[in-house]
Chain A
Amino acid sequence: MKVRRSTPLTIIMLAALAYFLLPLVWLVIASTKSTQDLFTTFGLWFSRAPQLFANIGSTVAHDGGVFTQWLLNSVIYAVVSAVGAAFLAATAGYGFAKFSFRGHGVGFNLVIGAIMVPTTALAIPTYLLFAEVGLVNTPWAVILPSLINPLGLYLMRVYAQDAVPDSLIEAARIDGAGEARIFFGIALRLLAPGLVTVVLLTLVTTWNNYFLPLIMLNDPKLYPITVGLASWAAQAQNGNAGANSEMLSLVVTGSLLSIIPLVVAFLLLQRYWQSGLSAGAVKQ
């Protein structure tokens, strides 16, 4: 069935697209300007003296290269959290999908109920607890809470139900394979697309997280990029100093640099988003 395309609908959707791209276009243009030009030239067009590379240079060099440290921290926090969370969700999802045992229903429902508990309402209590045991102001304070992803567990259970056929597990058992070997040798490979989805979800959440690292970390050397940029922005905007502050072009250029890795990862891996989210959205 061939559908005739609609020009009015396309125009409406392109207008919507323009709205979503507008701030990003502004960011790219603004990154080429000096702080003074940010205030004196038209925001949605380039100034006479573009200086993108000079801005990148000063952003990276500012304060002894702390920006690069923040980027590196974000990468470490996000990757360790994402891989860890996906692995934990996959093992538990497989366990809940393919085995029955005492406490099965209670355990699963407890975790699913936790999807409703907001992470930020939990963050202050977690901070208070971590302060007691001396975990505050360490990378673990950011990584550990990110390892538990109740939505990820839910997605993996739904995914494992269909992706790993019971008959395959039975056949492997008859061949004498142990449960661990079945999981690592067979099931994990079949779960890979679901795993990628959970990795992506956690990666984005951790990379973009602001509240948790904000309260957990005091040492600027441990900051992820979000908290670092916000601290620069606070310096730049302090008391509405505005055009006097040279910090603003650093904040703008730093913002651009900070979103590039995730946007690229996102566009490259986008087909996994759809498959993973559809598994979660359809089966309830």
Chain B
Amino acid sequence: MSGGRHRAAGPLFVAPFLVLFALLFLAPLGYAAYLSLFQHKLIGGTVFVGLDNYVKAVADPLFLRGVLRVATFFVLQVPVMLLLGLLFALALDSGLTRLAKVIRLGIFVPYAVPSVVATLMWGFLYGPDYGPFAQLGRIFDLPVPDFLSDSWILGSIANIVTWEFVGYNMIILYAALRTIPKELYEAAAVDGAGAWRTAWSVKLPALKPALLLTLLFSVIGSFQLFNEPKLLWTLVPTVIDTAYTANFYAYSLAFTGQQVNYAATVSFLLGLVIVIVSYAVMLTANLRRAA
């Protein structure tokens, strides 16, 4: 940090970012907040309705069902994804695995695949008649579930998201593991700690900040789930509907329902839900760290 005549330069460096941030981030939020206070009526045009849209949204079964569904998705999918990412990172960092570099890259590669392509691929693999799983089931006379049916679809979406993001989380955790000072391992070894003991008592505590980061990214990712259900919807329109997730609902309201004001309300509320859940996660983590 420095003062004096350089003081004027600081604001100039941050200004371009902050100006664009205000225009592209704060302004849309503000505009959405403004729009959410109006309703378009057949008679009388657009009228100010105060918080009516919000009152409507918090009692809207479609919105509530969408939020509940992504919350379920978060509770079911995120622990699996983060646990796998953690186990893979620990396994690769332990030095006990052969071909570690190839395996690390291979697990990370799905992150470079667009979710559109990932969903198209898995959608085909899931196919009840032509998918390879169903084909193998027929060859070996084994029952293969219909992955695109009502009872399986949420799990099938969870599998696609897990496939896409385990590698990303693994790399964040692996990178954090690489920064642990070697002396700590030596100290643990002197104390007679084996690989498991070292992982539990040295590595896991050091990973806490990175784990919190991956958890926060997962909150955001889960609650705004859209791409995978949107693309599977064209494949199985009877199983997935256009309000399947909260974000899909907002999209349908804005672009097929032409209910711009209500779509803005739903987007705004969804953003609020995500911010609240994120802060709840952070507070819980900090409380546990302090305890």
Contact = CB atoms under 8 A, between A and B. Distances in A.
Contacts of B172: 277, 280-281
Contacts of B140: none
A124 B213 contact: no
Question: Interface majority SS on A: helix, strand, loop or mixed?
Answer: helix
B255 A16 contact: no
Most interface-central of A1, A23, A117, A273 (chain B CB within 10 A): A23
B263 A98 contact: no
Most interface-central of A42, A273, A275 (chain B CB within 10 A): A273
Contacts of A91: 13-14, 16-17
Given A16-B103, A120-B224, A5 B98 contact: yes
B7 interface: yes
B278 interface: yes
Contact of A273 (B2, B13, B171, B234): B171
B209 A284 contact: yes
B243 interface: no
Interface residues of B, number: 103
B9 A179 contact: yes
Contact of B24 (A1, A148, A283): A148
Most interface-central of B2, B103, B186, B267 (chain A CB within 10 A): B267
A30 B117 CA distance: 13
Given A43-B132, A88-B20, A116 B275 contact: yes
A96 B110 contact: no
B115 interface: yes
Contacts of A3: 94-96
Interface string A60-89: 000000000000000000000000000011
A145 B28 CA distance: 10
Given A13-B97, A88-B20, A124 B251 contact: yes
Given A208-B116, A258-B117, 13 more contacts: A5-B96, A20-B107, A23-B163, A100-B1, A104-B10, A111-B21, A114-B25, A124-B32, A124-B264, A148-B25, A210-B227, A227-B116, A281-B173
Interface of A: 1, 3-7, 9-10, 12-14, 16-17, 19-24, 26-27, 30, 38-39, 42-44, 88-89, 91-92, 94-96, 98-101, 103-104, 107, 110-111, 114-122, 124-129, 132, 144-145, 147-148, 150, 153, 166, 169-170, 173, 179-180, 183, 204, 207-208, 210-211, 215, 225-227, 229-230, 233-234, 237-238, 242, 251-252, 255, 258-259, 262-263, 265-267, 270, 273-275, 277-278, 280-284
24 contacts: A1-B186, A3-B94, A9-B96, A17-B107, A42-B132, A44-B132, A88-B17, A89-B17, A91-B16, A91-B17, A95-B13, A95-B14, A99-B6, A99-B10, A122-B28, A124-B267, A147-B24, A148-B17, A230-B116, A237-B234, A237-B235, A263-B113, A275-B175, A281-B175
User: Nearest 7 CB-CB pairs, A to B?
Assistant: A99-B10, A95-B13, A43-B132, A125-B32, A278-B175, A92-B17, A179-B9
